[in-house]
Chain A
Amino acid sequence: MLDIKSIRKDFPILTQQVNGKPLVYFDNAATAQKPKVVEDAIIKYYETINANIHRGVHTLSQLATDAYEEARAKIQNHINAKHNHEIIFTAGTTFSINLVANGFGSLLKAGDEVVISALEHHSNIVPWQFACERSGATLKVIPMNEHGELIMEEYDKLLNENTKVVAVSHISNALGTINPIREIIKKAHQFGAAVLIDGAQATPHIRPDVVELDCDFYVFSGHKVCGPTGTGILYGKEEWLNKLPPYQGGGEMIKTVTFEKTTYACLPHKFEAGTPNIAGGIVLGHAIDYLNGIGFDNIAAYEHELLEYGTKRLLEIEGLKIIGTAQEKTSVISFNIEGIHPYDIGVIVDKLGVAVRTGHHCTQPIMDFFGIPGTVRASFSFYNTKEEIDILVEAVKKAKMMLS
């Protein structure tokens, strides 16, 4: 059992008032709020050990380097990666996917196929379109059913010896569907394809085990796991990271540079050109520690409770339809009310202190599939409460009354 009262005290922002009402923050799928320990760690870094890393012989540089590498080890341990150098610090999920897709842009050739799914965020669509355009490879899409679940029989039909990459989200940001990634990975491997899992929406709720999953790449963002913005992780199997060409050139990623020829540094530095977000990386380690302190089993169980309660309460509202009714779902509820535009609902509930996301959630193909302009999305985190869900329900009812 989680002590939510005490957990909420860890998040200073939650005590705020918005538009004269207590803040109800239900936009967690967009970004998570930060606990005090994370805020403190940022300040502590800048006040005590700020220095550039991996280069200086002076003490501060050494301390900062140690802290940064310690964070890498924490994340390695958190996702159970085999090697420390399989953890690449990036600026976020989008950056991580671009790094991998750009690399495949050089490795793929005409006739090759890349498989993504109908549930992807634009960040896991567009980089692959770039890679396909550059290489002449073809992009294929696993379709979904009306519940927002991937149709696995169709996936089977898409796989063949030309399939080189499969890139699928662990959890859908727009609908909350948990995809059967174990099966997806296993089947792709039967054809020798590499698999990238977009874990941006999964990592706030689930502790992934990359060895057990056997995925080739797993990517996620720091800011969605209570860490700072502008941080992210690319996990890649050593063999794949060695095969991919570097993404950005600059300092730190080289072994030797002459004007004729440059040789690249070993992993992970090959992919970490320039001075990284040092404070961000270190503090991401603190954020992961914080979440592990609460425990992902506890988080998942409590958030499931919120999902069930929220689903039940919202469905009491006449004309409300939930978009995304997969069997396996995380704590995301996307909905619409008949005859009312999601934007209008978002504006009114904001006036009542409730922060939700409205629009297409960077997943236009999903909205097109359901024939809607967008949805209202409420996404719950472990620091939310059932009382807050009640406030959301009242706010939506009020919006409905005003807008009908």
Chain B
Amino acid sequence: MTIKEAQEEIIDEFSMFDDWMQRYEYIIELGKSLPLIDEKYQVAENLIKGCQSQVWLHAEESEGNVFFTANSDAILTKGIIAILIRVFSGQKAVDIMDADLGFIDDIGLKEHLSPTRANGLVSMIKQIKMYALAYQAKN
């Protein structure tokens, strides 16, 4: 599945919800089901410190694809991480670098990716792209 297809699938899923509560309940569910980062990677070097919540991010590369695992101390942040990982993890580095995140707006979660939220998500996306850039440069 391409990044674009993964985003469209998520937009589809969210279009079923009528109100914010259903959307948030789904995000919470996603947060709970997020495959957790291996404990050995949940360390200070992988910590993205937000003012509100914190995010741990780990990246690995295999045959030109980049795989991400992550965690957060806040469940809503975790839920949005799950969405981002679904979109980005396993994709080609060059596609990750070029990916547009407009779909977050389409599913009504734009406010969570605002730089003023300080929940670690904006820095996380930057970090995801940095990893992609680094792996791209390496190959």
Q: Is the CB of A343 within 8 A of B24?
A: no
Least distance between A374 CB and chain B CB atoms (Å): 7
- Which B residues are in CB contact (< 8 Å) with A344? 74-76
- Which B residues are in CB contact (< 8 Å) with A347? 24, 76, 112
Interface residues of B in 42-99 (CB under 8 A from A): 51-54, 73-77
- Which B residues are in CB contact (< 8 Å) with A402? 21, 24-25, 28
Write the A56-87 contact mask toward B (1 if CB under 8 angstroms, else 0). Answer: 00000000000000000000000000000000
Q: Is the CB of A343 within 8 A of B20?
A: no
Least distance between A56 CB and chain B CB atoms (Å): 40
Least distance between B116 CB and chain A CB atoms (Å): 12
- Which A residues are in CB contact (< 8 Å) with B74? 341, 343-344
Write the A88-128 contact mask toward B (1 if CB under 8 angstroms, else 0). Answer: 00000000000000000000000000000000000000000
Q: Is the CB of B53 within 8 A of A341?
A: yes
Quick one: given A373-B73, A403-B75, are A343 and B25 in contact (CB under 8 Å)? no
- Which B residues are in CB contact (< 8 Å) with A19? 20
Write the A338-351 contact mask toward B (1 if CB under 8 angstroms, else 0). Answer: 00110110111001
- Which A residues are in CB contact (< 8 Å) with B51? 359-360
Quick one: given A343-B74, A344-B75, are A374 and B52 in contact (CB under 8 Å)? yes
- Which B residues are in CB contact (< 8 Å) with A358? 52
Complex Cα spacing A317 to B116, Å = 30
Complex Cα spacing A19 to B23, Å = 14
B7 within 8 A of A: no
Q: Is the CB of A341 within 8 A of B24?
A: no
Least distance between B24 CB and chain A CB atoms (Å): 7
Least distance between A363 CB and chain B CB atoms (Å): 12
Least distance between A199 CB and chain B CB atoms (Å): 25
Least distance between A350 CB and chain B CB atoms (Å): 9
Q: Is the CB of A343 within 8 A of B28?
A: no
Q: Is the CB of A348 within 8 A of B24?
A: yes
Q: Is the CB of A341 within 8 A of B73?
A: yes
- Which B residues are in CB contact (< 8 Å) with A403? 28, 75
Write the A300-317 contact mask toward B (1 if CB under 8 angstroms, else 0). Answer: 000000000000000000
Complex Cα spacing A394 to B53, Å = 24
The winner among A340, A344, A360, A374 for most chain B CB atoms within 10 A is A344
Complex Cα spacing A348 to B77, Å = 12
Interface residues of A in 368-387 (CB under 8 A from B): 373-374
Q: Is the CB of B24 within 8 A of A359?
A: no
Least distance between B32 CB and chain A CB atoms (Å): 10
CB-nearest residue of chain A relative to B25? A402
Q: Is the CB of B119 within 8 A of A343?
A: yes
Write the B96-129 contact mask toward A (1 if CB under 8 angstroms, else 0). Answer: 0000000000000000100000110000000000
Complex Cα spacing A359 to B73, Å = 12
Q: Is the CB of A359 within 8 A of B20?
A: no
- Which A residues are in CB contact (< 8 Å) with B53? 341, 343, 373
The winner among A340, A343, A347, A359 for most chain B CB atoms within 10 A is A343
- Which B residues are in CB contact (< 8 Å) with A340? 75
Write the B1-27 contact mask toward A (1 if CB under 8 angstroms, else 0). Answer: 000000000000000000011001100
- Which B residues are in CB contact (< 8 Å) with A359? 51-52, 118
Complex Cα spacing A403 to B119, Å = 17
Least distance between A153 CB and chain B CB atoms (Å): 35
Interface residues of A in 351-373 (CB under 8 A from B): 351, 358-360, 373
User: What are some 9 contacts across the A-B interface (CB < 8 A)?
Assistant: A343-B53, A343-B77, A347-B24, A347-B112, A351-B21, A351-B24, A373-B54, A373-B73, A403-B28
Excluding A340-B75, A343-B119, A351-B21, 10 further A-B contacts by CB distance (< 8 Å) are: A343-B74, A343-B77, A344-B76, A346-B52, A351-B20, A359-B118, A402-B25, A402-B28, A403-B28, A403-B75
* B binding-site residues for A, Cβ under 8 Å: 20-21, 24-25, 28, 51-54, 73-77, 112, 118-119
Q: 7 smallest A-B Cβ distances: which pairs?
A: A341-B74, A343-B74, A343-B52, A343-B53, A359-B52, A344-B76, A344-B74
